[in-house]
Chains A and B, each alone.
Chain A
Amino acid sequence: MPAPAMHGEGRNGVPLRTRRILMHAGIFLTLVLAWEIGARAGYLDPLFYPRPTAIVDSFIRIYITQGNIWRHLYVSLGLVFAGFAAGSILGIVLGSLVGFNALARRFVKPYVLVLEATPRIAVAPLLIAALGFGAQSKIAIIMLVCFFAPFINTLAGVVNVNEEKLELFNSLGASKFQILTKLVLPEAVPVIMAGERLALTASLSGVLVAEFIQRDQGIGSLILIYTRNLNMASAFACIFTLTVVGFLIFKGMEMLDRYIAFWNNETGMARVGAARKARWEN
């Protein structure tokens, strides 16, 4: 392919990028239009497959005119972040403790294997029965769901520490704590962050399952109630809301990853370098 065609002018002088965006928009609009026409012409049962315009109507209703989604969204996201923080901190701490100790690693391994095979979300009814209805059982479910990925990843990161660097640290007489905070954890950060990303996604699923089981408030119970009432357009509006939330969470984690593991990217290095320089000059 000739080089200019890659990012220069396409046919008729329209840049390739614009043409691609137009193409994406065209495909999307065609799909939506086909759906709308199919629903209006009666090929799709409006009771089960709501029209796109009906979904837009519901968006306006639940966000602006009724505005009832805000409360549920607030409740659910609060639970997600509380459970995620507790679960992932627990996972990282236990993971680094177990990873550091070869004996503990050997004895914990079979339980980890068994737990890994169990669908963790399945414990939800049990936890609700044990802890009662309310926020604490929901948070416990989310903790359980998002404990595992950070735990495993921290463990893997700690175990796979660079041998040569470890030797250097040891020969310079570093203490165990120094090795942990200055070598092992920084080296493991990318892996741990990958685990955190999985955990945050899982915690979103966890809160939904918890709310499906005890339907008092939250976005999960809202979806369930709308579907029970066959108000599918509103249910879809809630689900698209979750798509946006999921996307924001994904992007947010990516940014956090770049901020914490600053040595893996150019802008982060520049930022920390400038800060250190400023500190030296004072």
Chain B
Amino acid sequence: MSAPFGQLQWLRACYRALPHLGLFALLIAAWEVLVRTGVIASIMVPRPSSIGASIVELYFVKGTIWRHFFITLGEAVGGFLIGAAIAVALAIGSSLWEPFRRYVSPYAVVLNVTPGIALTPIIIAWFGFGMGSKMALAAIISFFPIFVNTLTGLTQPDTEREELFRSLGSSERQVFWMLRVPSALPLMFAGFKIGLTTALIGAVVAEFAQATEGVGVLMSRFSFQLNMGASIATLLSMTLIGLILFYSMEFLDDRTVFWRREERRAAASRNRARAWKRYAKLNSKSGSSI
């Protein structure tokens, strides 16, 4: 993409964002005025300026939030990885071996209809007050969406392609890796996105129940001190964690399932063309033929 064109696009994006920013500023101003004039009680809804002051204090001046921020982020990601690993392993097992699916799925359904949050006190009793219990809860509640999506993706019938694979004499392993897994990936990533969001919920709820550090602790502490500005500032940090998690998964999705979007597919084929050219050059230099 050429530079001037890129700049133009950037300008256009700015122009398009203007009314949104205007509306946002208007809303904030109205809110500020309403609280200052006492229409809304400031004990229930803090002034935007006091939220702003808390943000500056928590994030930049004292920087207290960062340690808690990364602890919660780590708990959510760790729990998600554990839950996803178990879910994907069980889903692969179920897709390959039909009796396994038949005898495992009732337990998965039972786990699904039980609200995973209900396990919080028990998980804390089992795994202690530290990060382990938060990860365990995050893993449990992120398990099901990933399991279901992976299993659905791996077992969806695609008879025509499978026939083609078989008629070209591919082995079971090739069918699995080159047909089943690629066609399951979009659904799997949809499951990963849901799972990652629920993992964050699990981590935060476990922190509410019993913990010494993490944004959930910070949040409940500020709320019970009725320091509403600071607790909304903490809430925004959870939003930030959620956005980071969601967009990094979106990025991975885009890179892994590159064939679904036109420009990613073009980029991938450009890379392949380049690799072929290099390969051809290497061969001509060494003088050998393919």
Contact = CB atoms under 8 A, between A and B. Distances in A.
Interface in A172-216: 201, 204-205, 208-209, 212-213
Given A119-B200, A242-B115, A243-B110, A228 B242 contact: no
A32 interface: no
Nearest to A220: B118
B50 to A, nearest CB: 14
A208 B228 contact: no
Interface string B131-159: 00000000000000000000000000000
Contacts of B216: 122
B235 interface: yes
Contacts of A242: 114-115, 118
B188 interface: no
Contact of B125 (A48, A125, A201, A212): A48
A117 B205 CA distance: 16
A212 B238 CA distance: 20
A131 B242 CA distance: 26
Given A118-B239, A119-B204, A235-B122, A125 B231 contact: yes
Interface string B96-125: 000000110010001001111111111011
A129 B223 contact: yes
A232 B103 contact: no
B205 A126 contact: no
Contacts of A246: 113-115
Nearest to A131: B44
A117 B235 contact: no
Contacts of B246: 116-117
Q: Is the interface of B mostly helix, strand, loop or mixed?
A: helix
Interface residues of A, number: 48
B20 interface: yes
B107 to A, nearest CB: 9
A4 B231 CA distance: 65
B220 interface: yes
Contacts of B122: 223, 227, 232, 235-236, 239
A208 B204 contact: no
A23 B118 contact: no
Interface string B78-106: 00000000000000000000000011001
Interface of A: 20, 23-24, 27, 48, 107, 110, 114, 116-119, 121-126, 128-131, 201, 204-205, 208-209, 212-213, 220, 223-224, 226-228, 230, 232, 235-236, 238-240, 242-243, 246-247, 249-250
Interface of B: 19-20, 23, 43-45, 102-103, 106, 110, 113-122, 124-126, 197, 200-201, 204-205, 208-209, 216, 219-220, 223-224, 226, 228, 231-232, 235, 238-239, 242-243, 245-246
